[in-house]
Structure 1
Amino acid sequence: MTVIAVPEPLVDQAVDQLRQDLLSGVHGPGTKLKVDMLRAQYGYSSSPLREALNRLTQEGLVAVDQRRGFRVAGMSAEDFADITRLRLFVDLQALEEAMEHGDDEWEVRSVAAFHRLQKVEARFPEGPLVLNAEWSARHKEFHMALLSGTPSPRLMGICSNLFDQAERYRRYSAKYRSQTRSKSDEHKAILEATMQRDKPEAIRLLTAHISRTQTNIADLFEQGVLLESNAI
């Protein structure tokens, strides 16, 4: 029996492409997102593009300006601090629930995601890995796999959305970072503590992991390396 692949709806395709370009900085913070311009760039009609922009507004990656147009969400040290504060609420809650409820499949999923992340890191030993699209995808996959033991799909959705909002800052700041940061040991330690169901250690390690990124990006803003863009 031949299985016919059903194409992804146009709106979902547009959301995926726009989200990736927003995260990677193709459209910089504060940039006006004109539907006509996006039609020429992506080849979609106005209807799926407007729906995609509305969805990305709900995700916090796009903002609606006073003239009812769309812009890329601005960036600021205060905004990233708020994203980090919320991640420390929801990610830690999800991780704790994952250690309570996670089964064998969750463990296999988490270990496999770490292995795939390591394989990518082994191929790209130099430079800011966050700028590599494959590494970024595997990085998110690893973090979401660890949290996926939670029984709450809504909590997972919030964690995923906040991860993407933080990812935009990570990628943007990596372009200006003078020193690379190896995360492999951090991820391995988090994985091991989580698999051992060592709640205090796993929570401590993930807290430090998330907080360190916030500190690094805050320093770049303070130094003027990153410029705030609050245009809406």
Structure 2
Amino acid sequence: MPDGHIYELNGVRLPHDDAIITPQVAAALTRGNYERPEVLATPMFLDPEDRVLELGAGIGYISSYIAKVIGVAHVTCVEANPKLAEYIRRAHDMQGLSNTTVKNCVAVSGNADLSPEKEMNFYIREPFWSSSLDPGRDPVSVERISQEVLSDLIKDAGATAMIVDIEGGERDIFRDADLGSVRKIYVELHTRYIRARGIKACFDALSAQGFYYDQRVSHGGVVLFRKL
């Protein structure tokens, strides 16, 4: 697909970029089924007054959709991959959005031991969705990315809802976190990375803070937690 090509699906327009849009992603965008389950689910739990904190924003499709089509009050996107963060800003500009913020950083749990320089290694892989904090699995490059504590991100964003897709980071991110104003958390569980103990750790951490599993919106490995 040549640069300059525009994908259009579900009211969102995305620019082609050979460095970002892999053939697999391009095919899904062209068919109109890229992240389709998530797009179908978000109107079931997000409201126009919501302020959303998205961890692992990818190519900015979901954030563009909820900001433009659902019309949430604000979306703060946290994306560790600097190339993706730049692409997300371009995607948001293409929609003409003024209710989004993009932060190129890594969200860490409340009990994280921050390095003195407040940076950490982020391992870039192909395809982009395999990038993570895990040093294994053959990274193609390593970036030093700034760290921000989750509770601080929530407070700064005034978040009432979260969307989380962070390649295994969901195991620990909610541990000892002050979730403050958040009432809804939509999490993709990466079972192949965190295994059964990691899933339990995620559920336990959220249950301890008064969140329950909402089966009406959850599907497969993507789970909605609501505050009691």
- The two structures have a TM-score, normalised by structure 2, of 0.25
| Greater helix proportion | 1
| Greater strand proportion | 2
- The two structures have a TM-score, normalised by structure 1, of 0.25
Higher relative contact order (CA 8 A, sep 6+): 1
